[in-house]
Structure 1
């Protein structure tokens, strides 16, 4: 963050100074919304949530060294009192980005945003100091917090932009105007909130509409393989750079295949050269994410061979996204429980099946079993499409020949189970359990060396508890030994 006095923050946010006795008191550290993350020189933003009122933790933040508090009522001690903390954070972010003149790269899409952000951050770090979101900070609170981590040494600022409706991305681009905008896809996530893909495309396209003209360096990086995204070329004044597997893509992948480990490999082609990529991430869906990151790196001057090398070395920076860990007994756990939608779940199931073909026991020998387990929960925010989409995922598990489907939860999980059983031939291969604890009990009693377990659901389900329990201890009560990380 660039240093700002509390008086300057008050002026930028339209706030009122409260109980500030030290003239020129300055914020030099990060802006935080959790008092436990406060430190010397930080600014604590106090939000009033459904269950917690941040104002009650203002004193804890000050004791940790916070220079002041951003609040909607006087919390006691040095503070800036504003009408709306969210809007105040946005004003600070807008000032920071304008003051620094940092190259802003923003990306959006129905799925793959966080994985692409992680890849892009690892590529751009090779070109200079880069700031990117921690986890999935992509809304009107998370985006300003990310932008406020930039300082005068920051060369690239990578931002993830999410939307719950039309107008949300437009607002975010007004806070942090991007020079490069990336649209990954228009999928089925949040169908219930948007009402259809056309509305999703309308909202996602606000990003390319915000870009400066090509003459001023604006670049729209668009997925050539997604017709909804490709059509956004007509909505921007910026130069258009296409990525994908289509022949006409400027940055494209050829000879795409999965290795025996379930990781994708391909030949990267760019306008300036080509290179071989063998990724460490799991699943063929990461090819599109990698191409999007490669297109941005190409636009910023990175040679094709260096891009290919960086993609081959890149891992995951965010938890619970295809985190692969092999236990000492040969059971492999794939924790992809951070979020789920129909598109990402289909991709995860295909990856599970590919990984099942390489199952090995302890020491690398071929193990008995090698079964694939899909532990799935609700995919949220699908609206009227929820029944059809959950049913389709259950049917897909059968068609892919997944060995065991464990549907976890209530009504939506029942639809998963119903889809699998209605597809035919499956009897005990699909089971519906009430909660994560029941799923863990079932798995502990039936897993054997060589099995691969995928855990995936929307974040609200909390299905990461299944993966964590399976990794917490080995069968027989012995501590688990992880032989693989999030990306091997």
Structure 2
């Protein structure tokens, strides 16, 4: 973070300082990283004590102080008698709001110098992959800040924004949401020069209240852009394409459609990744050997390429960046195993109907000749009233793609197993297990040389750890 005095931080967050006994004054400058996790605190960190679903960050302030926090942001003044050393407290009404307010102030100050360019990324699927690809491209050009993992909510996004300094040239801000207004709030913090919308699908539809509410929420990415900004939109998704009427920004289309200004042709998928030809608006084109597994990730590559092109990055650097990324992210189409001819694809960090279908199609495409395709599937969470029918649909898709063996894990996903049985064309190709341990015991004995195994579920189902165990088993 840029250096700010305690008085400046208090003003930005509308808070009150408690400095008694600390030796600090209102003019004391702090410039450390920010976090809401006491385990991440190092010397100089600003610790925001956040109320969580299961605990309260205020309980961990002493640990943050022990670890070196330079400022603790709290919603009430704390008794410091048990602390290892006196540390300034900033008392605010809401620590999460204060975190966002401070991010807004820091971004505004850095932008006033004229160097920083900001790209906002949203969509029902693909945000993290697109963010990672764009970071790899832009880091070749200048100092770039992008989120760790999926830091894309009202906490993670401002924590990332606060990492910018006067030397930062590019900030890639991943923006997720579970309700109306959340993306708009993040957009107001960062004021992106470029807004990317990847896809509008059923991910989190239960929280949003349906697909139309999801569309309204994702539209917030572009509705407040200025006419000097650029909205990068997926021409292949009709809902995203409809956003063109909701923004005054210049539109740059990406997709597989021939009308897209940034597009891919000659797509060929394999177990080693996907090759395609990248076309840019200036008429340039290059062959790309894209090592991220899954043809659906080509769309994310196109979005990243479109943003980089808008930022005047040349095609050679764009291609080099795309080709340098070997996986979307930890637990996202992560290729593991290999021993005894068994390949494990661990994609069990997130799952929506769209991403589940894309992963199954990838599994069907990359199967080894003579080997089996094995899909180990768990719950797709946060679908609300759509949950039952969408789990049914995925089970039927597995049948229609001729997946050789379906392993369904967990009661919340059991409808996938039932729907395959009801299809009537299978005889033992689908098996159900209550727990990941039960599924592992079966797979340990039943997987054969040449099998390709996909492990896919929402994070809450915990199958990513099953995928890790299988990867280690065949490593």
Scaled by the length of structure 2, the TM-score of the pair is: 0.94
| 5+ long unaligned stretches in structure 1 | 359-368, 475-479, 482-488
**Residue 36 (structure 1) shift:** 1.8
- The alignment yields a C-alpha RMSD, in angstroms, of 1.5
C-alpha separation between the residues in 2 aligned to 1:253 and 1:423? Answer: 36
* CA-to-aligned-CA distance 1:443-468 (integer Å, 9 cap, x gap): 11111222111111111111112112
**Equivalent residue runs for 1:194-209 within 5 Å:** 194-209=208-223
SS in 2 for 1:455: strand
Matched, 1:350 2:364: no
**Equivalent residue runs for 1:193-232 within 5 Å:** 193-214=207-228, 218-232=229-243
C-alpha separation between the residues in 1 aligned to 2:420 and 2:186? Answer: 41
Question: How many residue pairs align between the two structures?
Answer: 460
* CA-to-aligned-CA distance 1:258-314 (integer Å, 9 cap, x gap): 13x252111111122110011010000011000000100111112223322321222
Decide whether the 8 Å contact of 1:353 with 1:372 is kept in 2.
yes
Distance 1:317 1:383, change over 3 A: closer
Give 2:35's match in structure 1, choosing from 16, 28, 32. Answer: 32
SS in 2 for 1:294: helix
Counterpart for residue 91 of structure 1? 101
* CA-to-aligned-CA distance 1:62-96 (integer Å, 9 cap, x gap): 22221111111223242111110011001110011
Counterpart for residue 104 of structure 1? 118
* CA-to-aligned-CA distance 1:402-427 (integer Å, 9 cap, x gap): 111111111x3211001111223212
Decide whether the 8 Å contact of 2:337 with 2:470 is kept in 1.
no
Matched, 1:167 2:177: no
Matched, 1:2 2:19: no
SS in 2 for 1:278: strand
Decide whether the 8 Å contact of 2:264 with 2:278 is kept in 1.
yes
Counterpart for residue 463 of structure 2? 463
* CA-to-aligned-CA distance 1:242-266 (integer Å, 9 cap, x gap): 000111111111111213x252111
C-alpha separation between the residues in 1 aligned to 2:395 and 2:120? Answer: 35
**Residue 318 (structure 1) shift:** 2.6
SS in 1 for 2:279: strand
C-alpha separation between the residues in 2 aligned to 1:228 and 1:208? Answer: 13
C-alpha separation between the residues in 2 aligned to 1:140 and 1:203? Answer: 14
Decide whether the 8 Å contact of 1:169 with 1:207 is kept in 2.
yes
Counterpart for residue 83 of structure 2? none
* CA-to-aligned-CA distance 1:88-145 (integer Å, 9 cap, x gap): 0011100111011121100111111111111111111122111001111111111100
**Residue 317 (structure 1) shift:** 6.1
Scaled by the length of structure 1, the TM-score of the pair is: 0.91
Counterpart for residue 430 of structure 1? 430
C-alpha separation between the residues in 2 aligned to 1:45 and 1:201? Answer: 32
Decide whether the 8 Å contact of 2:293 with 2:327 is kept in 1.
no
Distance 1:196 1:53, change over 3 A: closer
Matched, 1:82 2:83: no
Matched, 1:299 2:310: yes
Matched, 1:124 2:138: yes
C-alpha separation between the residues in 1 aligned to 2:29 and 2:65? Answer: 13
**Equivalent residue runs for 1:35-74 within 5 Å:** 35-74=38-77
SS in 2 for 1:205: helix
Counterpart for residue 486 of structure 1? none
Matched, 1:419 2:419: yes
C-alpha separation between the residues in 2 aligned to 1:109 and 1:418? Answer: 31
Counterpart for residue 186 of structure 1? 200
**Residue 198 (structure 1) shift:** 2.1
Counterpart for residue 383 of structure 2? 382
C-alpha separation between the residues in 1 aligned to 2:316 and 2:29? Answer: 45
Give 1:147's match in structure 2, choosing from 155, 161, 165. Answer: 161
**Equivalent residue runs for 1:368-379 within 5 Å:** 370-379=371-380
**Residue 339 (structure 1) shift:** 0.6
C-alpha separation between the residues in 1 aligned to 2:6 and 2:353? Answer: 46
Decide whether the 8 Å contact of 2:96 with 2:155 is kept in 1.
yes
Decide whether the 8 Å contact of 1:269 with 1:304 is kept in 2.
no
Counterpart for residue 239 of structure 1? 250
Decide whether the 8 Å contact of 1:178 with 1:210 is kept in 2.
no
* CA-to-aligned-CA distance 1:366-412 (integer Å, 9 cap, x gap): xxx621111111111112211111011001111111111111111x3
C-alpha separation between the residues in 1 aligned to 2:461 and 2:138? Answer: 34
Is 16-25 or 223-232 further displaced after alignment? 16-25
**Residue 26 (structure 1) shift:** 3.0
C-alpha separation between the residues in 2 aligned to 1:27 and 1:423? Answer: 63
| 5+ long unaligned stretches in structure 2 | 81-85
Counterpart for residue 445 of structure 1? 445
Is 422-431 or 154-163 further displaced after alignment? 422-431
SS in 2 for 1:309: helix
Distance 1:2 1:393, change over 3 A: same
